[in-house]
Amino acid sequence: MKRSEKELFVEEFTDRIRAAPVFYLTDFSGLDVKSMTRLRDRLHEAGAEYTVVKNRLVIRVLEDIGAEFPDISEYLKGPTGVVIAESDVVSPARALTEFAKDNGDRPVFKIGVMKEALVEEEKFLRLAKLPPREQLLAELAGALEAPMSLFAMALESKVQETAGLLDALREKKSEEA
């Protein structure tokens, strides 16, 4: 890669890292080209991008960004692939763990960065086990809807009770008259 190409790559990569809600570093050693292609396809379907990057360039990108991100230089050893999520933080984590499970635990998760916080392996695995966003939203809607339904039913029963009392009162008055 020529110097001008590296500078352009660093600039574009910096913009993508800044815009991403999360990025994960992996060690892709042990994966052949065919497996890497399948991994990229799965991550693309999950709304993420997988890029193989030289560790020096990642360090340079993070230096360009500055204090926004924690120091992850200790994780930049050996071959490094970067998973950059476009919007959803859960789907790429799930896709990566499922792929690793099917491919001899490759690629190996190194570390992740979400906003300004480190995402260590335990947190990463918990993220990967979360249900999809749509399911979480449906569960939230159900949780919000249930109390409202109960409240509406309680109001309806009070209205029916009041109507029953008024009917009884009307009948009593008509009998008295």
User: What pLDDT does 70 receive?
Assistant: 84
Residue 14 burial class via C-beta count within 10 angstroms: exposed 0-12, middle 13-18, buried 19 and up: middle
Same domain, 12 and 97: yes
Residues 97 and 173 placed together within one structural domain of the fold: no
Alpha carbon distances (Å) from 44 to 49, 85, 110, 121: 6, 9, 20, 22
Q: pLDDT of 96-113, one tens digit each? A: 999 999 999 999 999 999
The CB-side HSE value for 139 (13 A sphere, CA atoms) comes to 7
Same domain, 105 and 69: yes
Q: How high is the pLDDT of residue 142?
A: 83
In terms of domains, do 50 and 120 share one?
Answer: yes
Both 96 and 150 in one domain: the answer is no
DSSP state of 89: S
* 72 and 124 in a common domain: yes
Across residues 83-98, what is the average pLDDT?
Answer: 94
Query: Average of pLDDT values for 55-70?
Result: 83
Question: What is the Cα–Cα distance from 50 to 119, expressed in whole angstroms?
Answer: 17
- At 111-152, the pLDDT tens digits run 999 988 999 999 999 999 998 778 888 888 888 887 877 777
Instruction: In whole angstroms, give the CA distance from residue 137 to residue 132.
Output: 9
Are 63 and 122 in a shared domain? yes
Looking at the structure, do residues 107 and 56 belong to the same domain, yes or no?
A: yes
Which pLDDT belongs to residue 96? 97
Q: Show which of 130, 146, 167 is a domain's final residue.
A: 130
Are residues 122 and 104 part of one domain? yes
Domain extent for 17: 3-130
H-assigned helices in the chain: 3-19, 33-45, 55-65, 90-102, 121-129, 133-176
Residue whose token pair is 């947190």? 123
Residue 67's pLDDT is 66
Q: Are residues 52 and 106 in the same domain?
A: yes
CATH number at residue 33: 3.30.70.1730
- 147 and 96 within one domain: no
Question: How many structural domains does the chain have?
Answer: 2
> Looking at the predicted structure, is the pLDDT value of residue 74 above 90?
yes
Looking at the structure, do residues 138 and 109 belong to the same domain, yes or no? no
| Average pLDDT taken over every residue of the chain | 89
The amino acid at residue 27 is: D
